[in-house]
Chain A
């Protein structure tokens, strides 16, 4: 129970469904005030109090579990390391994978519980994950990394309900968090300034900004401050020859080179992904026509996915923009999650002049 309206309502529904429910709030920092203050995160003393009050109202036992060490190691350090490696991680996904449905679930099972119930908007049955009924709130993308075994011990009581109804229900149940704002930013970045957070952890790592021809057009103090598809804050010395806006096309962590170029350079036709997890189907032996989502709340694209050894090669039927390494590629059939893998490389429709597309893909591990 994070202290928000979703987990509180989910807990209440689990009680209504006849389960024996215990509320657990995760302490994710050994020094709670070091994470976000205010009501929008999930790690503050105030949130712990809100969660406790919700548990009181629902009349369930409530405990705080100390997951600070695991969270720091598996989520915060991973987040920093991923940026340092030129990738764009999704810490919520990592928290689900390593904390909520791993460390917490393992401990819960050992202590005699049967499942972890959360306020995520998604549906799970028989180890298969489906999108939530509310498309605007659907969180299947950040849960798709879970294995079937993890999903069999997961309960998402809100998957069938639109968020507005959840708020109304929370108010009806007398839960004070009914009108509490949703959290949006990374919960462990206290002030919402991810760039500043990374700069504090990674220090300055200056490098060059080059255009797609390889010409140096500027300098930066840390490639981690950039995300593929980013347009603002590039601090490029001279405008593009054609005067059109430029975007981050590629981040090369070893030489700390950030490549910028026109929007077409963002058009990706093939995505390479690693460590696939299959829950909605067996690992495909034949090329698989399905849908793919390439970032949280992103659009879906028609694609043909095929296994290439340990890796997954996803040919997009139409080019997609702003695909960042480190994000998840989640495959869907309709609303059903087939599988998920971590994006490790991309091929552009307009290849960068300095590296042929094929080579670009083989460069990443």
Chain B
């Protein structure tokens, strides 16, 4: 095993991305300050002011009204609140159907499965194409089967594994034709695409801090004023009585600061990342000509920082380990059970067979990515794939 851990190359920004210096500064400053935003005294009012200013900042970034921002502990909680909460709020005997895709993040996928197993819901899985995208007419047909029975629709804005950007506003419009609430998980989209809640037409939208340079542990469900999900967490009645729990003032402020910095740089950054990504794709295909780029072609249908390949004849976890030993961090992009990589449910839903789904890797770029990172991968990927192939052939 050769190893080079001196200059780590981080190609896993979709898992989490470094906190921006501005966010670290804001958070550390706030950590030293006192106050529960729900308290009525001066210290409480000071903290409340920070939370509300952050809420306004986030609302501006994501095209929402401040009152539409409901703080949560992150993306998973926001997805749970949207899917379960909207289902419960709409359930009245006949509205049992929950429409979603089979390429969702597990936070949505497993919430829907739980509703089905434990809450009498009926999951309707919208078919995606080989690029991972769901067509609006597929949604229309699924709702039209029994419009009165549909409780809610949830389709992610951009896919966390293969970077597919869904036609969210068209999908939301279809749902609204039938008066059905529409949720979208925009966790991966928020750092790289212009995510505008009002323009999207969604009723609920999930974002989280740590994918755009904020801290882990702060996220939000942006929720149209009319939408009233049944709470998942009960308690002190914070956040419109929808999400109880003491607000994390330092993390919320850092989340907002990061989002604002991210938004300011987004257009230029998206262009820069797309160019880097194209270079990465080029270098990988040059070194491994039979590698397959999964997901849509580079362009508006794909997240600019995402590249996802299947390497025929390889196992993803062997590739990951060999790259790790070379100081390169990436992901098999799939869920783990006790650390065992399962074949990606996203690739399987896109029609890939089991071996193609197992032999895949995700490289994701972010705000600290450079050409050096891409070149470092290009330098070793050929040899790593050769070696992983020999191991798999045994």
Chain A residues at the B interface, C-beta cutoff of 8 Å? 20, 22, 25, 27, 30-32, 45, 48, 52, 61, 63-66, 68, 103, 106-107, 110-113
Contact = CB atoms under 8 A, between A and B. Distances in A.
Nearest to B318: A111
A66 B320 CA distance: 14
A63 B388 contact: no
Contact of A107 (B324, B337, B391): B391
Contacts of A27: 337-340
B113 interface: no
Contacts of B387: 110-112
A110 B389 CA distance: 9
B325 A25 contact: no
Contact of A64 (B318, B324, B340, B390): B340
B223 to A, nearest CB: 35
Contacts of B317: 63, 65-66
B280 interface: no
Contacts of B121: none
A55 to B, nearest CB: 11
B322 interface: yes
B376 interface: no
Given A65-B317, A111-B387, A112-B1, 5 more contacts: A27-B337, A27-B340, A31-B337, A66-B317, A107-B391
A106 B394 CA distance: 7
A113 B1 contact: yes
Contact of A20 (B1, B324, B337, B394): B1
Given A63-B321, A110-B391, A111-B391, A48 B339 contact: yes
Interface residues of B, number: 20
B339 A63 contact: yes
User: 3 smallest A-B Cβ distances: which pairs?
Assistant: A64-B339, A110-B391, A106-B394
A20 B325 CA distance: 11
Contacts of A66: 317, 340-341
23 contacts: A20-B1, A20-B3, A27-B339, A32-B337, A45-B338, A61-B321, A63-B317, A63-B321, A63-B339, A64-B338, A66-B340, A106-B391, A106-B394, A110-B387, A110-B390, A110-B391, A111-B318, A111-B322, A111-B388, A112-B1, A112-B2, A112-B387, A113-B1
Interface of B: 1-3, 317-318, 321-322, 324-325, 337-341, 387-388, 390-391, 393-394
A25 B391 CA distance: 17
A110 B394 contact: yes
Given A20-B1, A22-B1, A111 B338 contact: no
Nearest to A105: B394
Interface core residue of B338, B340, B388 (most chain A CB under 10 Å): B338
A107 B321 contact: no
A48 B1 contact: no
Contacts of B3: 20
Contacts of A65: 317
A110 B338 CA distance: 24
A262 to B, nearest CB: 49
Contacts of B324: 61
Nearest to A27: B340
Contacts of A52: 339
B122 to A, nearest CB: 26
Nearest to A67: B340
A64 B324 CA distance: 14
A75 to B, nearest CB: 17
B190 to A, nearest CB: 31
Contacts of B338: 27, 32, 45, 48, 64
A27 B317 CA distance: 13
Contacts of A32: 337-338
A111 B339 CA distance: 19
A225 B340 CA distance: 34
Contacts of A61: 321, 324-325
A45 B337 CA distance: 9
A22 B326 CA distance: 13
A365 to B, nearest CB: 30
Nearest to A45: B338
B340 A111 contact: no
Interface core residue of A22, A27, A32, A111 (most chain B CB under 10 Å): A111
Nearest to B337: A32
B346 to A, nearest CB: 19
